[in-house]
């Protein structure tokens, strides 16, 4: 069991972004395309996910792809598009930052800075986002233990930023039937150990559209504070991650399912979440 949890630092159990409260009892949903592609697509998606109940627009302007030949994102122009589309629909924005030199620019456009799996132990980047006051969502590294994940969070907390959200997105195992193995026991255990809010990413962890709804339900039943879901108006035409993206209609169905699960775990005999 992780021995070293962030104990000498200030930890916020509830992260506030405008009137959105992550970790405060309400289920917060982030949704949007894998990558920012075109303005038209982005506005359409933002409008659609807001209508179905999402709170935050996700979308990558800087993409950390395995191959240098793969689409690397639109960069700075993508950031502006993302902010504008979110604003038009009344959503907050989360987007990934890859380089210490981009933190300031990304923080100007986004409400939450995302650190991706591949950079979970990029200590220079962790220190840099620790200097920002923007909330940071730290995705678990593909082969990161819970202890290492909490220590990575401590880099951010230790640098002065108390607003850390963790995101379970699947770990690398021998199983190849799914893209990664979603570790839902981590959700409960990390909350028990650290008190930090935990969001689950059923899209990247499974890599399969048909598994996004059942894993979203399971995440909420396990006590997750939020979900981050890939939604694309035309998944077959997506620049990346099409096979795991939901259509807005599928996303709408998922939202109604997870709301029922959330109610089921809240309306128990004792009125608290886990009893």
Window 59-118: residues binding a second copy (CB under 8 A) = 64-69, 72, 98-102, 118
At residue 20, what are phi and psi to the nearest 5 degrees? -85, 135
Given the complex with a second copy, which of 13 and 268 has the nearer CB atom? 268
Distance CA 231, CA 216 (A): 14
Both tokens of 70, joined, read 């793969």
Spell out the residues 6+ positions from residue 120 whose beta carbon is closer than 8 angstroms to its own. 138, 139, 140, 141, 144, 148, 149, 152
Could you say which residues in the range 205-224 bind a second copy, by CB under 8 A? Answer: 205-206, 208, 210-211, 213-215, 217-223
C-alpha angle with apex 12: 60 to 194, nearest 5 degrees? 90
184 three-class SS: helix
271 interacts with a second copy by CB under 8 A: no
- Nearest partner of 220 among 264, 180, 189, judged by Cα: 264
Q: Candidates 21-29, 81-89, 155-163, 233-241: pick the segment binding a second copy (CB under 8 A).
A: 155-163
240 interacts with a second copy by CB under 8 A: no
185 interacts with a second copy by CB under 8 A: yes
188 interacts with a second copy by CB under 8 A: yes
Given the complex with a second copy, which of 2 and 39 has the nearer CB atom? 2
263 interacts with a second copy by CB under 8 A: yes
What letter does residue 172 receive in the DSSP assignment?
-
Given the complex with a second copy, which of 87 and 260 has the nearer CB atom? 260
């Amino acid at each position: 069991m992780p021995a070293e949890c962030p104990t000498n630092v200030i930890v916020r159990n509830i992260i506030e972004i405008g009137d959105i409260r992550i970790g405060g009892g309400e289920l917060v949903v982030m949704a949007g395309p894998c990558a920012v592609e075109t303005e038209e697509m982005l506005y359409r998606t933002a409008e659609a996910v807001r209508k179905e109940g999402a709170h935050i627009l996700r979308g990558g302007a800087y993409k950390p792809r395995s191959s240098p030949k793969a689409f690397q994102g639109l960069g700075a122009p993508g950031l502006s598009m993302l902010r504008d589309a979110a604003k038009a629909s009344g959503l907050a924005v989360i987007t990934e930052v890859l380089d210490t030199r981009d933190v300031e620019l990304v923080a100007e456009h986004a409400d939450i800075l995302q650190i991706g799996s591949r950079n979970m132990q990029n200590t220079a980047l962790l220190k840099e986002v620790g200097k920002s006051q923007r909330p940071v969502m730290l995705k678990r590294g593909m082969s990161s233990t819970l202890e290492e994940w909490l220590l990575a969070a401590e880099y951010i907390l230790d640098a002065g930023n108390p607003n850390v959200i963790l995101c379970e997105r699947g770990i690398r195992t021998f199983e190849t039937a799914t893209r990664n193995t979603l570790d839902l026991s981590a959700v409960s255990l990390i909350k028990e150990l650290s008190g930090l809010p935990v969001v689950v990413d059923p899209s990247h962890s499974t890599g399969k559209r048909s598994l996004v709804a059942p894993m979203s339900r399971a995440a909420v039943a396990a006590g997750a504070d939020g979900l981050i879901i890939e939604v694309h108006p035309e998944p077959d035409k997506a620049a990346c991650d099409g096979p795991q993206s939901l259509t807005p209609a599928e996303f709408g169905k998922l939202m109604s399912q997870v709301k029922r699960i959330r109610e089921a775990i809240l309306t128990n005999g004792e009125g608290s979440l886990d009893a």
